[in-house]
Amino acid sequence: MFGGQSKRSLPNRDIESVLRYGIEVRRAIWVHVLSMCTWLPLLAFNPWGMSLVGASIAVLINLPFLIILRGNNARLSRMLQALRRNDN
């Protein structure tokens, strides 16, 4: 929807594909981190309590995706190390 590649499955298991997929996962991590800050403009228009509710919603919605993406990033780096060992 917002560009980039689908992260539903790993396209191939060669080094180049894993590197491209890793870039895409890191991009998605940044997108979710930045979208957790969407409540900040609410501070200018809403009372502090409503802004706190907006912050809670933004964090609760994005946190599961961040956990999954960070886990995938760790798995991808281990996979990349194994591919490089097997390539040599």
* First CA to last CA distance, the chain: 38
Nearest CA among 16, 15, 24, 10 for reference residue 86: 15
Domain locations along the chain: 15-87
Confidence of residue 53 (pLDDT cuts 50, 70, 90): very high
Number of residues assigned to the chain? 88
> Is 1's pLDDT higher than 60?
no
> Is 43's pLDDT higher than 80?
yes
Nearest CA among 37, 28, 38, 40 for reference residue 66: 28
Owner of token pair 């396209």:
11
DSSP per residue over 42-54, as a string? Answer: HHHHS-HHHHHHH
Provide the whole-model pTM.
0.80
